[in-house]
Amino acid sequence: MKLKLSALLIIFSLFKANSQTETANPQTSKMTINKDTVITDTLSYALGTLLGTSIKSQGFNELNLDDLNKGILHAILNMSQYSVQQCDNIVRTWMTEKQQSEFGPVKEAGEKFLAENLKKPNVNITKSGLQYEIITEGTGKKPGPADSVKVHYEGSTIDGNVFDSSIKRGEPITLMTNQVIQGWTEALQLMKEGAKYKLYIPYYLGYGENGAGQAIPPYSTLIFEVQLLKVGS
């Protein structure tokens, strides 16, 4: 996304420079004002609007516009004081620090929850940090890492917010063991057909540092009740 954004910024600047060059010559302007210049100006404005919207949506709300313009110009003229890799690292570092600052409490709450949850007598833990509780032990076969499975499930955050539930929809789903979050992939291979487990999934085995939409913030610890109905199609 960052590389695409940088490319669009450069394209926008080139169109702007081209538009200014054309209108600087009266003869050129007379010949193109009804066609090329209007199209170029409109396209430049449209690109600028898209770029501004994209920048704002990514959380860059407090930028020095003079330095932003300078960076674009220096990139075009090969005068940048930083390499592309250095610039990428600067942006990534800023975004990581911002995210950790904003969602640090979510991560800490999850870690605290898991530490307390592990004190319960029926809660098990794997080497990866996945915690699970056996509600019903199955008697059928176990799925392999690339098997399809039919399951019923309900997922919630540690504050009790249910974000997805095949149970409420009244229809189980079929999925591949290796095409779900890591915590699920690991847990399903512990289960036998007919089993029902309660899973407590740390953020790094779930949706990680990015989360999943508004319902699952970054660094969220998740709870799932999963019933394995069938292995294979």
**Tokens of residue 112, six digits:** 């605290």
The answer to whether residue 147 is catalytic is no
d(CA 38, CA 90): 37
Contact 43, 61 (CB under 8 A): no
The answer to whether residue 164 is catalytic is yes
Q: Spot the catalytic one: 36, 88, 147, 164.
A: 164
Q: Spot the catalytic one: 153, 200, 203, 219.
A: 153
d(CA 205, CA 220): 10
The answer to whether residue 39 is catalytic is no
Backbone angles phi, psi at 229, to 5 degrees: -85, -40
Q: Spot the catalytic one: 45, 60, 103, 163.
A: 163
Q: Spot the catalytic one: 207, 216, 219, 223.
A: 207
Question: Torsion over CA of 36, 39, 42 and 48, rounded to 10 degrees?
Answer: -80
Backbone angles phi, psi at 198, to 5 degrees: -110, 120
HSE-up of residue 40 (Cα within 13 Å, Cβ side): 19
The answer to whether residue 163 is catalytic is yes
**Tokens of residue 15, six digits:** 């169109």
Q: Spot the catalytic one: 36, 55, 181, 204.
A: 181
d(CA 19, CA 36): 9
Q: What are the E-state strand segments in 158-221?
A: 162-165, 173-176, 196-201
DSSP-derived 3-state class of residue 141:
coil
Would you name the residues annotated as active-site residues?
A: 153, 163-164, 181, 207, 224
